[in-house]
C-alpha cells in the first residue's frame, strides 16, 4: 500500500522520500554531481538498517567536506588525506560502531595515499567511500592522480602528459592486493541500475564492517560537470564514454566469493 500525500487539492502517490537521515540543509553540490546521490544512498542504508545511533562518519577535505551538514549522524571532519587515520582512531576506541569515510581522489589517492594504504593493510573495520571524478573539484578543477591521460584540467592545460605527470592511478586494484581488504568494488550512479548496484555495494560494505571482516573500499566512479567544464548532460556522456572504460565497474575483490 503506497503512501499518498495531498498538495493543493491534488493527491500524489509517494514513490520516493528524502531519507530521514538527511538534514534539511540544501546540498551545495553542483547540478548533476554524483556526490549527492552517494550521500543520499548512504543515509538510506543507515536509516533502513537502523544504524543511526551506531555510526560515526568522517568527511574529508574536498567536495564532500560538508557531508556533516547533510548527513544527520555524528561526524568528524578530517584534515586533507587523513580520513582513514581519523577513522582508525575512532574505530579502535569504538570497535563495535560502524565507521566510514567519504573521500575524493585528491584526498585519498594523492595526499592521503599512505593513510589509505596502511588503514587497508591493517584491515581496519571501516568503510572507505572513494569518489573518483578524475579532478580536484573544490579547488577549481586541477589535475588529480586519477585524471585521464590527455585530459585537460586547469593544471594540465595541454592535457595530462603521462611522461611528466605520471599515469592515472587505480587505487581499487592497488588496495585489493592487500590482505586487510575484504571487499573492493567499483560502482557508478549514472543510471538507475547503477544507483541500485551502488546501494547494494554500500549495504554489503556496512555488513562487512559490522561483521568485522576488514576494510571495504567502494570506489564511486563519478563526474564533475563544473571541473570538467561541461553541462551536466554532457558530463554524463563523457563519464560513460571515458571514465568507466578507464575505471571499469564491478567487484574487484570479495572475500566472501573467494
Partner 1 sequence: MGEIHLMKGNEALAEASIRAGLDAYFGYPITPQSEILEYFSRELPKKGIAFVQAESEVASINMVYGAAGCGKRVMTSTSSPGFSLMMEGVSYIACAELPCVLVNVQRGGPGLGTIQPSQGDYFQAVKGGGHGDYHMIVLAPNSVQEMADMPSIGFELAEKYRIPVLILADGALGQMMEKVEFKEYPKKNIEQNWATVGKPEKRDANVITSLFIESEVMEQVNIKLQKKYEQITEEVEDCELYHADDAEVFIVAYGISSRLAKKAVDLSREKGVRAGLIRPKILWPFPTKVIQKYATQAKGFISLEMSAGQMIEDVKLSLDGSVKSKHYGRMGGMIPAPEDILKEIESML
Query: In this complex, which beta carbon is closest to partner 1, that of residue 45 or of residue 90?
Result: 90
- Quick check: 94 binds partner 1 (CB under 8 A)? yes
Packed helices 34-48 and 192-210: angle between N→C axes, nearest 10 degrees: 50
- Indicate the SS3 state at residue 221: strand
Nearer to partner 1, 75 or 144 (CB): 75
Beta carbon of residue 108, minimum distance to partner 1 (angstroms, whole number): 14
Of the listed pieces 91-99, 146-154, 191-199, 228-236, which binds partner 1 according to CB under 8 A?
91-99
| Choice from 39, 72, 105, 219 touching partner 1 (CB under 8 A) | 72
Task: State how far the Cα of 249 lies from the Cα of 240, in Å rounded to an integer.
Answer: 11
Does 107 engage in binding with partner 1 (CB under 8 A)? no
CB 135 within 8 A of CB 153: yes
Per the CB < 8 A criterion, the answer to whether 145 and 106 are in contact is yes
The three cell numbers of residue 99 are 565507521
Instruction: Give the three cell numbers for residue 205.
Output: 560494505
Residue 87 as a binder of partner 1 (CB under 8 A): the answer is: yes
- Rule CB under 8 A: say whether 85 interacts with partner 1: yes
- Contact pick of 30, 47, 49, 97 for partner 1 (by CB under 8 A): 97
Nearer to partner 1 (CB atom), residue 210 or residue 230: 210
DSSP assignments along 76-130, one per residue: EEPPTT-HHHHHHHHHHH-TTSEEEEEEEHHIIIIITHHHHHHHHHHT-SEEEEE
Q: Which SS3 state, helix, strand or coil, does residue 47 take?
A: helix
**Does 178 help bind partner 1 (rule: CB under 8 A)?**
no
Asked if residue 93 binds partner 1 (CB under 8 A), the reply is: yes
State yes or no: residue 68 binds partner 1 (CB under 8 A): yes
* Shorter beta-carbon distance to partner 1: residue 86 or 176: 86
Tell whether residue 55 is a contact of partner 1 (CB under 8 A).
yes
DSSP structure class, residue 59 = E
Nearer to partner 1 by C-beta: 174 or 249?
174
Q: Which stretch binds partner 1 (CB under 8 A): 75-83, 160-168, 178-186, 225-233?
A: 75-83
Q: Is 68 helix (H, G, I), strand (E, B) or coil?
A: helix
What gap in Å lies between CA 148 and CA 168, rounded to an integer? 6
Binding site for partner 1 (CB under 8 A): 23, 52-56, 58, 65-66, 68, 71-79, 82, 85-94, 97, 114-115, 118, 122
Amino acid at each position: 500500500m503506497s503512501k499518498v500525500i495531498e498538495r493543493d487539492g491534488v493527491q500524489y502517490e509517494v514513490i520516493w522520500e528524502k531519507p530521514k537521515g538527511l538534514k534539511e540543509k540544501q546540498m551545495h553540490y553542483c547540478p548533476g554531481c554524483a556526490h549527492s546521490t552517494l550521500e543520499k544512498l548512504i543515509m538510506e542504508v543507515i536509516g533502513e538498517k537502523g544504524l543511526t545511533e551506531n555510526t560515526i562518519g568522517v568527511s574529508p577535505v574536498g567536495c564532500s567536506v560538508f557531508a556533516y551538514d547533510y548527513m544527520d549522524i555524528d561526524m568528524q571532519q578530517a584534515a586533507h588525506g587523513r580520513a582513514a587515520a581519523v577513522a582508525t582512531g575512532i574505530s579502535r576506541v569504538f570497535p563495535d560502531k560502524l565507521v566510514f569515510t567519504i573521500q575524493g581522489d585528491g584526498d585519498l589517492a594523492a595526499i592521503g595515499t599512505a593513510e589509505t594504504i596502511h588503514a587497508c593493510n591493517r584491515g581496519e573495520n571501516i568503510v572507505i567511500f572513494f569518489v573518483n571524478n578524475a579532478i580536484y573539484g573544490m579547488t577549481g578543477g586541477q589535475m588529480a592522480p586519477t585524471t585521464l591521460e590527455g585530459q585537460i584540467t586547469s593544471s594540465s592545460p595541454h592535457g595530462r602528459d603521462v611522461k611528466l605527470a605520471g599515469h592515472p592511478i587505480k587505487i581499487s586494484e592497488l588496495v585489493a592486493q592487500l590482505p586487510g581488504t575484504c571487499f573492493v568494488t567499483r560502482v557508478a550512479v549514472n543510471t538507475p541500475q547503477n544507483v541500485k548496484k551502488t546501494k547494494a555495494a554500500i549495504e554489503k560494505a556496512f555488513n562487512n564492517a559490522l561483521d568485522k571482516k576488514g576494510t571495504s573500499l567502494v570506489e564511486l566512479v563519478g563526474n564533475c560537470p563544473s571541473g570538467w567544464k561541461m553541462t551536466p548532460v554532457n558530463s554524463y556522456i563523457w563519464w560513460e564514454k571515458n571514465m568507466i572504460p578507464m575505471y571499469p565497474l564491478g567487484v574487484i575483490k570479495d572475500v566472501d566469493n573467494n
